[in-house]
Amino acid sequence: MSNATTYHLFINGRWRAGSGGVTLPVTNPATEKVFGSVAAASASDLDDALASAEASRRAWSSRLPKDRGEILVAAARILSTKVGDAAEDLSTEQGKTIAEATGEYARAVETLEWYGTHAEEFSAPIPHGPNRMIVPEPLGVVAAFTPWNYPAVLIARKLAPALAAGCPVILKGAEETPSAAIHIVEVLRQAGIPDGVVNLVFGVPAEISEHLLSSPIVKILTFTGSTAVGKHLAKLAANNLQRCVLELGGHSPVVVCEDADLATAVPAISEYKFECAGQSCNAPSRILVARPLYEEFLSRMTEVARKIKIGPPDDPTTEMGPMANARRIEAMQRLVEGAVDRGARIETGGARVDQPGFYWPPTILTGYPKLPKCFMTSRSGRS
């Protein structure tokens, strides 16, 4: 994958280009240069994915849970041998450091293996009162939508439980970080997943979601992303009463109490805040500090933020790479300018790094009105 420039769809057990011939660019956020393209699925491609998933449903759901689990475990073991190359691809597309990308793939491997190992338990009958049992049954075809910020681990979290339960999946991967979906689907293919059980599509998100969710073949929607998009997808799913599993947004505070050990708290908060350049739903967006600790906390936190080394994600000494795309830079500019206009003060950071790439430094704002005195930015959310 590291030398590939074209990413394809995977439908009914075959890699293929989009039938309409349309592709979308893939950009390296560290250089702002387009280095590849990803196939965009047409309506015909989506119909093929729906048909192949439905055609595989009965056989896959009837397969012994132990057999389904063995395929997931085999896929995990194959993926574990490819983590190095896969992490490089993810770093190139998303901007996270090699260390962060490697750690993410380790979690993806663990996820596939865990669900594979426990597949029999998920389908086991559950006692329910005297002489009664609840027998779990697969619900049907799953439409899974994944974001660009943690594509490998979130793809594994959506595919593994659905497949273990006996549900075929149509996966809509993130167009900006397509390699994660490619790698994970490929190891499932190598592990022996039957044709049609996993289908992978890319393209224009709104067109794909509307087409898939308009089909009664899809029984379940799983989506990780913004609250606004999640609401829209839920409305589409309502037409066919498709069940929804939604992981939306993220606006996490940290509370630093008066008895906190700052020597422990500051590094822990900083790690969560600036991992993946702050582009995580669990990255703190604001910090509420007990007044007696405020000045010392601010001093320590500012010092840590200023020392974080920003640079190319493939440099082993880099601690924070670029943001994933130009939209994130625009969002950061709006956040900082809006805060300053309302009286906030920039303690460190606050402006785009003057070099090629979507680099934004760790930024701390204080004195924001109507909020506690320490309000940190560099939060991404998802878009």
Question: 250: Cβ–Cβ under 8 A, 6 or more apart, which residues?
Answer: 280, 281, 282, 283, 381
The residues assigned a catalytic role are: 247, 281
Distance CA 201, CA 38 (A): 10
Token reading at 377? 């930015």
**Would strands 9-11 and 14-16 be described as parallel, antiparallel, or unpaired?**
antiparallel
8-state DSSP, 310: B
Instruction: Tell me the C-alpha distance between 205 and 175, whole Å.
Output: 9
- Which DSSP string corresponds to 325-350? SHHHHHHHHHHHHHHHHTT-EEEE--
Angle at 291 between CA 288 and CA 292, to 5 degrees: 130
The alpha carbon torsion through 163, 167, 172, 176 (nearest 10 deg) reads: -10
Cβ pair 4, 11 in contact under 8 A:
no
Phi-psi region of 243 (alpha: psi -120 to 50; beta: other; left: phi over 0): beta
Is residue 381 within 8 A of residue 285, CB to CB? The reply is no
Do the Cβ atoms of 19 and 42 come closer than 8 Å?
yes
